[in-house]
Amino acid sequence: MDNLNALEETLADSNALNLERDILLQLGRLGALKLFHTCLSKAFDAPDACEVSDAVVEKKTSSKRDNHVKRIIRSGKSEMRKSRRERNSAKPNQNSPFSLLSTGNQKWLQQPSVSSLRRASNSKRRRSIIARNEAEMSRGVKVVAELEKLRAILEEESGQVPSLRTWAEAAGVDENVLRQNLHFGWFCRDELLRSTRSLVIFLTRNYRGLGIAHEDLIQAGNMGVLRGAERFDHTRGYRFSTYVQYWIRKSMSRMVAWNARGIRIPTTLATAVNQIQKARKSLNNHHRKYPDDMEIAKLTGFSVAKVRSASQCLRVVGSIDQKIGDCINAKYMEFTPDRSLRSPEETVLRQNMSTQIQELLSGLDFRERQVLILRYGLKDNQVKSLEEIGRLFNVSKEWIRRIERKAMEKLRDKDVYSSLSHYRNL
């Protein structure tokens, strides 16, 4: 052990001498050797450089010998800062009944960060950074969506807009953390919408000319981007732009199905109509003839009744103000009958029918007559239910049903039926 210590001291002395020699050599090249000697002589009261070098070497060797004896005394400020950081980053109560955030999202909530593309030196590294950015931004969109759902629940339960403190307590995070991640989530939304705008505009070309404005299609595509970002899972290995195309097309298709037609039909029926149109076009191109409903049902897998009902939805709704042809200066409105107006014959028949019904009802009791008039709308053409009539007479609906049955039994006669049979077609 003594030999090893002596060897270490020898090596330390040789290294110190070499370092001193190099320093003096460099100072001599710079022309600052005299100034260096002057400063050392003032500091150590040494007249020449040799004594200074001996003092420096002796000081270094003594510091090497006493290195194992030195002790570092630390202040308590670092521990105080560490404990303060731990208290600030400590999670609040996770058993909150309003908590909607998952454990992974709460861990990620504390330090949101977005990697920079400036450090990417090659295409492979750039693709990995883009994928990591997309994953982080999708997580930010998921978190802010969950927080907004939680806020809607709180507003529905309390009947007023919740404060930031109440919102943070329900989410199980600190107010500063909540504010930070809300801003970060909104930033992620804006960045995703900005980066996918060209993709949305590219996909709108398939839905032009269907009665929807181009700006509305872009807005529907943006809604699909946000909906896809909430469901994106980067662990499966596919890119965000590839995944979000499905949600963009779905959002645009739904808007076209809801607003493109004059008469709105259900989404499932609209999907069936599109499949039937594609099948009819395919069969027409293949067989060079117009296919019937049986062939379309066999190709699509739908029933014949569903094919026929869906075909009824394909009828185009036109305008009665449209002109008939190009040469005739007339409109469809001029030749379309108004079926809301009654003919003179129908008006006379209805008057006679009303007179005969009143004569038949005159043979009933007052309450029976009032129940039939209210039940079938014989006076104001407004039919009322048994419960509504019972509420007017302050009785139960079962009592009204008995009165109605009793009155109908009195009117059920062959002569009465024959006298009113010619009014059935009205």
The Cα 196–Cα 288 span in angstroms is 42
On the CB side of 210, CA atoms within 13 Å amount to 18
Q: What parts of the chain have a pLDDT lower than 70?
A: 1-18, 30-33, 35, 39-77, 84-123, 262, 314-317, 326-328, 414, 426
**Residue 235 and residue 382 share a domain:** no
- Last residue of one domain, picked from the residues 286, 302, 336: 336
Three-class secondary structure of residue 331 per DSSP = strand
Q: How many residues does the chain have?
A: 426
The Cα 392–Cα 406 span in angstroms is 19
Beta carbons of 247 and 228 less than 8 angstroms apart: yes
Tokens representing residue 94 in the block: 């996770």
Three-class secondary structure of residue 319 per DSSP = coil
Neighbours of 368 (CB within 10 A): 18
**Residue 223 and residue 110 share a domain:** yes
Neighbours of 51 (CB within 10 A): 14
User: 65: which residues sit within 8 A by CB, 6+ positions away?
Assistant: 9
pLDDT of residue 201: 92
Q: In terms of Cα–Cα distance, which of 262, 257, 260, 270 is closest to 317?
A: 262
Beta carbons of 44 and 55 less than 8 angstroms apart: yes
Tokens representing residue 406 in the block: 């009793």
**Residue 239 and residue 271 share a domain:** no
The Cα 55–Cα 52 span in angstroms is 5
**Residue 352 and residue 275 share a domain:** no
**Residue 384 and residue 319 share a domain:** no
**Residue 379 and residue 297 share a domain:** no
Domain assignment of residue 10, given as a range: 2-65
- Last residue of one domain, picked from the residues 300, 320, 336: 336
Helices (H) and strands (E) in the chain, counts: 19, 0
pLDDT of residue 121: 54
**Residue 275 and residue 311 share a domain:** yes
- Please report, for residues 5, 8, 9, 13, 16, the alpha-carbon distance to residue 2 in angstroms, rounded to integers and kept in the order given: 5, 10, 11, 17, 21
Residue 80 lies in a domain: no
**Residue 277 and residue 354 share a domain:** no
Residue 79 lies in a domain: no
Cβ-in-10-Å burial (0-12, 13-18, 19+) of 173 comes to: buried
Question: Residue 368 is part of a domain; what is its CATH number?
Answer: 1.10.10.10
Question: Residue 268 is part of a domain; what is its CATH number?
Answer: 1.10.10
Residue 280 lies in a domain: yes
Question: Residue 219 is part of a domain; what is its CATH number?
Answer: 1.20.120
Beta carbons of 379 and 357 less than 8 angstroms apart: no
Residue 91 lies in a domain: no
Residue 325 lies in a domain: yes
**Residue 269 and residue 254 share a domain:** no
Runs of H (alpha helix) within 238-330 = 240-259, 267-287, 293-300, 304-312
Three-class secondary structure of residue 323 per DSSP = strand
- Count of structural domains, the chain: 4
**Residue 368 and residue 332 share a domain:** no
Residue 296 lies in a domain: yes
Residue 84 lies in a domain: no
How do residues 289-304 score in pLDDT, each as one tens digit? 888 888 888 888 888 8
Q: Residue 227 corresponds to which amino acid?
A: R
Residue 85 lies in a domain: no
Tokens representing residue 151 in the block: 């806020």
User: 66: which residues sit within 8 A by CB, 6+ positions away?
Assistant: none
**Residue 110 and residue 236 share a domain:** yes
The Cα 91–Cα 108 span in angstroms is 12
Cβ-in-10-Å burial (0-12, 13-18, 19+) of 92 comes to: middle
- Last residue of one domain, picked from the residues 304, 336, 368: 336
Three-class secondary structure of residue 107 per DSSP = helix
**Residue 348 and residue 318 share a domain:** no
